Amino acid sequence: MNKMDKSKPPRILFLNQMAGPLFRELAEDISKKWPPGTLFTGHPDTIKTVQKDFLRIIPAPGYECNNCILRLWSWFKYLFLAFFRYLFLSKNTFVFLVPFPPFLHFIAYLFKRLRGQRYAVLVYDIYPDALINFGPLKESGLITKIWRKTNRVAWENADAVFTIGYKMAENLESMFDSSKTSAGEVIMIPNWANTEWIRPIPKEKNEFAKKHNQVDNLTVMYSGNLGQMHDIETILAAAKELKNNNSIHFMIIGDGIKKKLVEEAKVRDQLDNLTVLPFQPEDILPQSLSTADIAIIALGKGSEGLSVPSKTYYSMASGAAIIALCQGNSEVALTINRHQCGLLVDPGDVHGMVNAIEGLLGDKQRLNLYRRNSRDAAEKFYSRNNTSQYIDILSTVCNI
């Protein structure tokens, strides 16, 4: 293909402040169908990605997750620049966005009202509900009321509203009239992992595992955001209970508002069995994720139907057994039960968590079965092939 002409207006503009590998892959595959596309994002790894002929990546302000003031400022900067970009957008350009930062989809609604700019929304997490359950917002608060009204108006005027789990779709259907969208309903398409890129790597051949002395350990890993919705406390308590078992080692990889809690616990409880690392560069992910014998998916009580951690499918692709700290009616629980790839533990149940880990340590046959089932399910149901479902809907329902 010839070098993409940057003066040519995009067929689709993708807006997502933190467009990680999943969303970037989706943008790439959609843009292959309808080139050229443009992705406006502040995700550092995505910004560094080699430009494709069919998808231009434009750097945007990144997301600051460790400080409330910086977080709000980073949101404002992205919203302002997204609005500015809208001003010079061809009215024939279709906009595909994630409502992150908050109220980004309301900008899309305004431009649809002003000049008929069409758009679709992909909901990864349901806000403000998550902040009501785990954060500073109250159900009766003014911000909550404005946010809910904004959601309803923006969703009902979209061509399509996508989400990533059945429980999330049910929740969303109760929050607005989906029959007003062109699709006529909330469309659920599960997330995925690139199973060609993320795959099992034996520890003795894994440079990350060797670097962190994990070749001979049962490695229990949490890799992802350390946010309010994540039950990190139970993981830390289990690590404390098991710190005298030299066969088990915990790894917590990531950043967020609970990172300080992790670092304090490691020092206070003398957790020599815990390695704490920041988010790893994207090129290290295949090695870091496949170091885990057991991957932990940690959801706090009340997060059911509000989010489906994408790390679930990455961990499955890497061939890890899953221990999910979640309620039995969550999307993660349904996935584990459906594919028999791990165990469920109630959030806050430290004893249950310890028993699950020790049980898998003592039953290698069951551990290996869960690991095989994880990988098989990822290949069959949660691979990059899922992007074709978005293309089908955008083609048939949105008439791109």
Dihedral sign, CA of 277, 281, 283, 285?
positive
Give the position of tokens 């843009």: 31
Report whether pLDDT(387) > 90. Answer: yes
Dihedral sign, CA of 218, 223, 226, 231?
negative
Beta bridge partners of 219: 249
Confidence category of residue 256, pLDDT binned at 50, 70, 90: confident
Give the right CATH number for 12-192+384-396 from 3.40.30.10, 3.40.50.2000, 3.40.140.80, 3.40.50.620: 3.40.50.2000
Q: Give the per-residue pLDDT at 66.
A: 66
Q: Of 330, 329, 297, which Cα lies nearest the Cα of 313? A: 297
Higher pLDDT, 190 or 68: 190
Mean pLDDT of 308-323: 96
Report whether pLDDT(201) > 50. Answer: yes
Confidence category of residue 311, pLDDT binned at 50, 70, 90: very high
CA-CA-CA-CA dihedral for 228, 162, 285, 245, to nearest 10: 40
Confidence category of residue 7, pLDDT binned at 50, 70, 90: low
Mean pLDDT of 332-355: 96
Q: Of 170, 186, 178, which Cα lies nearest the Cα of 330? A: 170
Q: Is 255 exposed, middle or buried (0-12, 13-18, 19+ CB in 10 A)?
A: middle
- How many other C-beta atoms lie within 10 A of the C-beta of residue 49? 17
Q: What is the pLDDT of residues 18-63, one digit of tens each?
A: 999 999 999 999 999 999 999 999 999 999 998 899 999 999 999 8
| pLDDT-wise least confident of 45-49, 313-317, 320-324 | 45-49
Q: Give the per-residue pLDDT at 97.
A: 98
Report whether pLDDT(288) > 50. Answer: yes
Mean pLDDT of 312-321: 98
Mean pLDDT of 185-195: 97
* Mean pLDDT value across the chain: 93
Report whether pLDDT(259) > 60. Answer: yes
Q: Give the per-residue pLDDT at 50.
A: 83
Query: What is the spatial distance between Cα 394 and Cα 381, in angstroms, rounded to a whole number?
Result: 21
Q: What is the CA radius of gyration of the chain?
A: 21
Contact 25, 13 (CB under 8 A): no
3-state SS record for the chain: CCCCCCCCCCCEEEECCCCCHHHHHHHHHHHHHCCCEEEEECCHHHHHCCCCCCEEEEECCCCCCCCHHHHHHHHHHHHHHHHHHHHCCCCCCEEEECCCCCCHHHHHHHHHHHHCCCEEEEECECCCHHHHHHCCCCCCCHHHHHHHHHHHHHHHCCCEEEECCHHHHHHHHCCCCHHHCCCCCCEECCCCCCCCCCCCCCHHHCHHHHHCCCCCCEEEEEECCCCCCCCHHHHHHHHHHCCCCCCEEEEEECCCCCHHHHHHHHHHCCCCCEEEECCCCHHHHHHHHHCCCEEEEECCCCCCCCECCCHHHHHHHCCCEEEEECCCCCHHHHHHHHHCCEEEECCCCHHHHHHHHHHHHHCHHHHHHHHHHHHHHHHHHCCHHHHHHHHHHHHHCCCC
Q: Give the per-residue pLDDT at 51.
A: 84
Mean pLDDT of 155-163: 98
Query: What is the spatial distance between Cα 41 and Cα 32, in angstroms, rounded to a whole number?
Result: 19
Residue 294 CA to its chain's centroid (Å) = 19
Q: Give the per-residue pLDDT at 1.
A: 39
State the span(s) of the chain assigned CATH 3.40.50.2000: 12-192+384-396, 203-381
Q: Give the per-residue pLDDT at 334.
A: 92
The predicted model scores a pTM of 0.89
- Which CATH code fits 203-381? 3.40.50.2000
Mean pLDDT of 201-209: 97
Tokens of 234: 């139970």
Contact 123, 162 (CB under 8 A): yes
Higher pLDDT, 305 or 148: 148
Contact 365, 329 (CB under 8 A): no
Higher pLDDT, 63 or 323: 323
Query: What is the spatial distance between Cα 89 and Cα 331, in angstroms, rounded to a whole number?
Result: 37
Taking the alpha carbons at both ends of the chain, their separation in whole angstroms is 22
